[in-house]
Amino acid sequence: MLTVTFTMLGDVVLARAINRYADVVKDFRPVWKQVKADFVRIETEQFDSQGGRSGAAWAPLSLNYAAWKAKYFPGQTTLKLTGLMFSQMTSGLQTTSLPMKLVMGPTVNYAGIHQQGSPATRLPARKLVALTEDDKMGWMKMIHNYVYDKAKEAHLT
């Protein structure tokens, strides 16, 4: 049995088991490309909707910070001050793709602080990564289809 686990910014966002034929697959890198592409789509939608895509819109900015941001960064939405974090979570996502492991994440350390929130600084959690059940099922379907195709190639089905 194979357990597929995705951890993003300190949160386990998916943990599911694959029982059938999983031991046939020794290299998941082709399907990791599909998962990464879908993750970039999801993150783009998450930022564009300011968290609303997942059903939990991000907390509004404090009045003082919103006024400062409007003055110095007019038109920039929540979590898009300079665009660096958005870029790091989408087109600039750091990725290490190994046969049995996919590691993706931003290089900016403050992404995790926004994900978790910080009571010490009164920063509310704003989930950069908030997968829906459909997202999780979609990734598992990609992985299951890949495993099934490999089993067919090995004449196990």
Question: Each residue of 29-52: pLDDT tens digit?
Answer: 999 999 999 999 999 999 999 999
Query: Among the residues of 6-132, which ranges form H helices?
Result: 29-48, 63-72, 84-89, 110-116
How many structural domains is the chain composed of?
1
Domain that holds residue 29: 2-153
Give me the pLDDT at residue 13, please.
80
Tell me the whole-structure pTM to 2 decimals.
0.90
Which residues of the chain, if any, have pLDDT below 70?
A: none
Give me the amino acid identity at 27. D
Q: From CA 15, how far away is CA 31, in angstroms rounded?
A: 17
